[in-house]
Amino acid sequence: GNEDLSDPNNPTFGRGGCGALFTEYKHRISKPWKRLKRERLGGATKHFHAADFEQTRPTMRQIHGINNFMAQPFWRFATMCDARTDLPPGIDAHKAISLVTIQYFSRLVAKCDVDVVALIFEGSERGDSLVQRDYELARIDFRNVWGRRVEVEGCFMPKSSLEPGLEVADLIAHTAGRQRRHELAGKAGHTKDFEKTYWHSHIPPEFMAITSVEISEGIQGGLIVPRREE
């Protein structure tokens, strides 16, 4: 979506992604995704874009293949806001989404025995400057399970790289957007693809929908406190 929430057909904005320990990434995400693409999605060297894939009217074999892949045990998350989200002056949707995303990363890192965390973003001419603005690496204070500060690295990767993690993140984010639009239309429950994407693995996901953001004064010049649904 657009961070200014100006699109009347899709008044949402969010970020979604996946994660794994470096030692488990190939086993849990990279190799299974490449195998799925090779066997059911047109080939391992074919670009995968979730929005385009949806328009091709996927076969049940392809849908079952993706559902089976989504049962893999890796972390997945999405943070969403929409035109109804109450944002104070000076706080745009990207800033709000970024804060909640960083808070999720912080909780996740605190459970792990790691020394370095890499945040990899899909590169985009429109979004790169916003990412650099709202994910200030020097100010991110992640602590591992032992309470030690973790080094945080950030980088952009083009979608053309065919990196499985980026393509899976695109699928996760796209599904979150569909679910949020489903809710905006006044429909109850979850879409089928949302259930399979987020609730099909034994590792608990996080789907965070921001309803409002408040500014709490007196803490380092102002702390953004989002209210959210989970």
Q: Is residue 131 part of a domain?
A: no
Q: Which of 6-20, 93-107, 149-163, 203-217 has the lowest mean pLDDT?
A: 203-217
- pLDDT above 80 for 226: no
Number of domains comprising the chain: 1
Q: Is residue 185 part of a domain?
A: yes
Q: Please work out, in degrees rounded to the nearest 5, the angle formed at the alpha carbon of residue 209 by the alpha carbons of 206 and 212.
A: 140
**Domain span including residue 175:** 12-104+169-229
pTM: 0.89
Q: Is residue 110 part of a domain?
A: no
Q: What are phi and psi of 159, to 5 degrees?
A: -60, -25
Q: Is residue 76 part of a domain?
A: yes
Q: Is residue 89 part of a domain?
A: yes
Q: Is residue 190 part of a domain?
A: yes
Confidence class for position 135, pLDDT limits 50, 70, 90: very high
For residues 134 and 45, give the distance between their C-alpha atoms in angstroms, rounded to a whole number: 33
For residues 186 and 34, give the distance between their C-alpha atoms in angstroms, rounded to a whole number: 37
Q: Is residue 7 part of a domain?
A: no
For residues 140 and 137, give the distance between their C-alpha atoms in angstroms, rounded to a whole number: 5
- Averaged pLDDT, 57-85: 92
Confidence class for position 216, pLDDT limits 50, 70, 90: low
* Residue 143 confidence (pLDDT): 97
Confidence class for position 223, pLDDT limits 50, 70, 90: very low
* Residue 221 confidence (pLDDT): 34
- pLDDT above 90 for 219: no
For residues 154 and 118, give the distance between their C-alpha atoms in angstroms, rounded to a whole number: 6
- Averaged pLDDT, 166-191: 89
Confidence class for position 185, pLDDT limits 50, 70, 90: confident
Q: Is residue 142 part of a domain?
A: no
